[in-house]
Structure 1
Amino acid sequence: MSLILRDATPADVPAITALYAAEVRDHVNTYEYDIPDEAEMARRMGAVLDAGYPYLVAEDSQGLAGYAYANSYRARIGYRLTVENSVYVAAGRQGRGIGAALLERLIADCEARGYRQMIAVIGEPTNTASLRLHEKFGFHLVGIFRGIAWKHDRWLDTVQMQRSLGPGNNEPPHDS
């Protein structure tokens, strides 16, 4: 499989919207109920990019195979060096290294931008593929929030994992 990783552009929004729609409709990897339209997904992408965070896509011979981005973990200034990641792989294409390629590049891009910590918020502890993917890249379990979300007629747990970037918290930031 030939995989191309690149920065996302507005031309990717329709394919990203379609991939994310399946996640909202069929799964619990996001706790959103209503499927965002292309205009909303374009707005979200623009907000990520305008804030200086990376937003990536992976393409294979079938088109968009997945996407990933980092965003602010929290809005308060003290969290400015911590990012939260999101990685989505198209249905039927999991297990082919697409998520790993996206996450590896996302980590590198965040380190190059000077971020120090990356948080993964994973819907459901049964999402073993996502847990294994993050463990492969050095994330460790921080904790599990029990029953904090309701979707598809059931209570859902949320896993939080964390990984240091660059020097992590071993030295102060350059802007301190």
Structure 2
Amino acid sequence: MTAGMVLRAAAVADIPAITMLYADEVRHGFATYEYDVPDAAEMQRRWEHLARHRFPYLVAEFDGSFAGYAYASPYRGRIGYQWTVENTVYVHPDFQGRGIGHALMQRLIDDCTALGFRQMVSVIGDASNAASMTLHERLGFRVVGVFHGLGRKHGRWLDTVQMQRALGDGDTSAPPGPALDWPD
């Protein structure tokens, strides 16, 4: 981990910074297909929902400043997917290129593995997002599919890339039991 970087569990005090970073992506980026910027109350509700079900939700600080966040969430809602998580990672533009995304993702992978998850999926909202794809490849993800023209944002049809990596034993053995309290 880079000197000056701290990774920790997200807290309610982080919600304003998380909301601002996500809002910028909603307004200007393609990583999310959301059109309307959620307010802080909605972002807190989303965080609380994941925290209630014990999914990892992390924040990175760099020299005391908020630098980014990452979290795991259910890949799909059906119980048969309970050992598979989807990752999300956002790094503040002022801190990109410093290894923060890599550190957040590695910690998220480690935490999800320790919780008994067996697969992690990344849904990359724009096939031209080389930085996200490279980050995931360096962490052992591989492209498993591309959905052409799956979403539309900012006047463009977007190809969505799905990447996947095994956690722990992956699919080579039966899981020890239920993953977590599965969300309702």
Report if TM-score (shorter chain) is over 0.5.
Answer: yes
d(CA) in 1 for partners of 2:137 and 2:81? 23
SS of equivalent residue, structure 1 residue 92 = helix
Q: 1:62 deviation in Å? A: 5.7
Structure 1 position 70 matched with structure 2 position 72: yes
Structure 1 position 147 matched with structure 2 position 149: yes
d(CA) in 2 for partners of 1:159 and 1:29? 11
Alignment of 1:129-148 (within 5 A): 129-148=131-150
Structure 1 position 124 matched with structure 2 position 114: no
d(CA) in 1 for partners of 2:64 and 2:6? 11
Structure 1 position 22 matched with structure 2 position 21: no
Is 60-69 or 118-127 further displaced after alignment? 60-69
d(CA) in 1 for partners of 2:145 and 2:86? 15
SS of equivalent residue, structure 1 residue 167 = coil
Structure 1 partner of 2:182: none
Q: Comparing both chains, which one has the higher relative contact order based on Cα–Cα distances under 8 Å and sequence gaps of 6 or more?
A: 2
d(CA) in 1 for partners of 2:160 and 2:137? 16
d(CA) in 2 for partners of 1:62 and 1:32? 30
- Paired residue total: 176
Q: 1:93 deviation in Å? A: 1.6
1:94-151, CA deviations, whole angstroms, 9 ceiling, x for partnerless residues? 1110000000000000000000000000011110000000000100000100001010
Q: 1:92 deviation in Å? A: 2.7
d(CA) in 2 for partners of 1:22 and 1:81? 31
1:70-96, CA deviations, whole angstroms, 9 ceiling, x for partnerless residues? 000001010000000000000132111
d(CA) in 2 for partners of 1:76 and 1:124? 26
Q: 1:14 deviation in Å? A: 0.4
1:5-26, CA deviations, whole angstroms, 9 ceiling, x for partnerless residues? 0000011000000010001001
The unaligned stretches of length 5 or more in structure 2 are 179-184
Report the RMSD for the aligned CA atoms in angstroms: 1.0
Alignment of 1:1-176 (within 5 A): 1-61=3-63, 63-175=65-177
Equivalent residue letter for 1:170: T
Change in CA separation of 1:14 and 1:2 when aligned onto 2, cut-off 3 Å: same
